[in-house]
Amino acid sequence: MEFLERMNEALNYIESNLDGEISYERIARLSYCSMHQFGRIFSYVVGSSLSEYIRRRRLTLAALDLQTGNEKIIDISLKYGYDSPNSFSRAFAETHGVTPTEARSKGVTLKSYPRLAFHITIKGDIEMNYRIEEKGEIKLVGILRQLPNDKVGGNESECGDVWDEFFDSKNSPNQKIRDDLKLYRPPFWQIAVYMPKQNGTCELFIGAESDGHAVDADGLESMTISAKTWAVFKTTGHIKQLGELWLRIKTEWLPESGYVYDNSIYAEIFPMDKMWNDPNYDPEIWIPVTKK
């Protein structure tokens, strides 16, 4: 279970740095995931985002400090990453239902969120559908954005600003690709390509496969993915099940597959012939692989 050991190493690192700066680059390196993958898997297993977990753990430790120590509230707020006592007090009251000052009193009820560790039992009795695809160059049209660390793995809606821009902005890229260029079609439909960098950041390209014609649409860019061998995995149901699929790829398929995946690039495919809340909605994950 090397992958689970890596995930627990990442959690141990987070735990040991709750009273300091947490490096998302270090989390990615320890878990051998991109922060997007780590965030997907974490949210699926835990039921909350990584940033929410960190916030709760810090406020748990802050409550202990207030009850058992003599540190000033301003020092405790800075210790756990808050810029001011006011922002700390607001967050503390939202979590514990009392102010930091009130938390010093005996008999006050406070909340404790315990540290996590991954202990996952893989049964192996549920089939996993995959296929191997040989693809030449894939030419795409869409938008390319750089994601900072805290947007890649910081919360459940990581990358949300880019998706909002893609869908909701005036004359949105989605509208241009769907209505003007009419590019949504299988196999790549609407595609999100993630390109993790060594410093923990990530580039995200959202768009569709080009039809070979020059793109004449404001705000759209072109991208070419070189020829690769891809392992393709499909899930059915809510889009959040991609978290479960990533977990199974890492813990079940890759260790036994005879293939190696280097985390350099991957894609998530969102079909446009079904609504996302359709029970038969079937997004895919594509990862490039080489034989061991």
142 and 72 assigned to the same domain: no
Domain assignment present for 51: yes
Count helices and strands (H / E) in the chain.
12, 10
Assess contact for 153 and 27: CB atoms under 8 A: yes
217-232 per-position pLDDT tens digit: 678 999 999 999 999 9
275 and 141 assigned to the same domain: yes
93 and 183 assigned to the same domain: no
Domain assignment present for 81: yes
Give me the CATH number covering residue 250: 3.20.80.10
Name the one residue in this structure whose structure tokens are 């805290």: 150
Counting residues of the chain whose pLDDT is more than 70, the rounded percentage is 90
pLDDT: is 67 or 198 the higher one? 67
74 and 201 assigned to the same domain: no
pLDDT for residue 2: 82
Domain assignment present for 109: no
142 and 249 assigned to the same domain: yes
89 and 154 assigned to the same domain: no
Task: Give CA torsion, residues 45, 47, 51, 52, to 10 deg.
Answer: -140
Asked if pLDDT for residue 201 goes beyond 80, the answer is: no
Greatest alpha-carbon pair distance for the chain in Å reads 71
Domain extent at residue 80: 2-103
pLDDT for residue 152: 46
Domain assignment present for 27: yes
**Most confident residue range from 43-52, 112-121, 187-196:** 187-196
Domain assignment present for 159: yes
Assess contact for 29 and 129: CB atoms under 8 A: no
Domain assignment present for 224: yes
229 and 151 assigned to the same domain: yes
Name the one residue in this structure whose structure tokens are 């350099």: 264
Instruction: Give the whole-angstrom CA distance, residue 184 versus residue 273.
Output: 9
Mean of the per-residue pLDDT values of the chain = 86
> What are the b/e assignments for 117-147, b being 16+ CB within 10 Å?
ebeeeeeeeeeeebeeeebeebebbbbbbeb
C-alpha closest to that of 217 among 257, 176, 247, 185: 176
pLDDT for residue 154: 40
**Total domains in the fold of the chain:** 2
Beta-strand pair 202-209/259-260: unpaired
27-74 per-position pLDDT tens digit: 888 888 888 788 888 888 888 888 899 999 999 999 999 998 889 999
Q: What is the pTM of this model?
A: 0.78
Domain assignment present for 110: no
